[in-house]
Amino acid sequence: MYRRIRDCREDADLKQKQMAIQLNCSQQTYSNYELGHRIIPPEILIALAKIYNTSVDYLFDLTDVKEPYPRK
């Protein structure tokens, strides 16, 4: 999962600092999410899926389908 989150960020040409600002956390906290040193809270996972226009399942590496599910 952590590798996929980093890959999504890099594919979007974003820096960790930019993601940290969007997620309202420090760059160090975001770095720890990507490295797997810190558990990612559900609300952050949902925010990441929205930012990267994908599903949480994709971030968890449960599917290779990058497109998000239809939203309510």
Neighbours of 59 (CB within 10 A): 20
pLDDT at 33 over 80: yes
At 51-69, the pLDDT tens digits run 999 999 999 999 988 888 8
Question: What is the SS3 assignment for 57?
Answer: helix
What is the pLDDT, as a whole number, of residue 28?
Answer: 97
**pLDDT at 27 exceeding the cut of 80:** yes
How far apart, in whole angstroms, are the C-alpha atoms of residue 39 and residue 37?
7
Predicted confidence at residue 47, as pLDDT, reads 96
